[in-house]
């Protein structure tokens, strides 16, 4: 199981979309977990299976999580 914190930035293994962890992992089976993710640049939130995304590298994480990413105003809705 991944060590996820609120605000961690992640990337989908399937299609490369980026998002941010916005809630706690939810157990759905013996070893299955879904994680609520807010998609960057969208108002959409989705539940992603924990094995279908990866954490972005440390420098791309938020300042509060030890990274160097300083988000624009309105992030994650506004990504420019």
What's the gap between Cα 5 and its chain centre? 9
pLDDT band at 6 (very low <50, low <70, confident <90, very high): very high
pLDDT digits (tens, 9 = 90+) for 11-56: 999 999 999 999 999 988 877 899 999 999 889 999 999 999 999 9
Q: pLDDT at position 2, please? A: 64
Cβ-contact 35, 23 below 8 angstroms: yes
| Residue appearing with tokens 């972005």 | 56
Whole-number pLDDT of residue 31: 76
- The whole-model pTM stands at 0.88
Is the distance from CB of 50 to CB of 28 less than 8 angstroms?
Answer: no
pLDDT over 90 at 72, yes or no:
no
């Amino acid at each position: 199981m991944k060590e996820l914190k609120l605000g961690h930035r992640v990337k989908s293994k399937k299609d490369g979309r980026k998002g941010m962890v916005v809630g706690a992992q939810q157990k759905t089976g013996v070893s299955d977990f879904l994680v609520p993710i807010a998609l960057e640049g969208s108002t959409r939130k989705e539940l992603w299976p924990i094995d279908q995304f990866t954490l972005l590298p440390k420098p791309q994480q938020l300042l509060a999580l030890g990274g160097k990413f300083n988000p624009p105003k309105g992030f994650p809705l506004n990504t420019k």
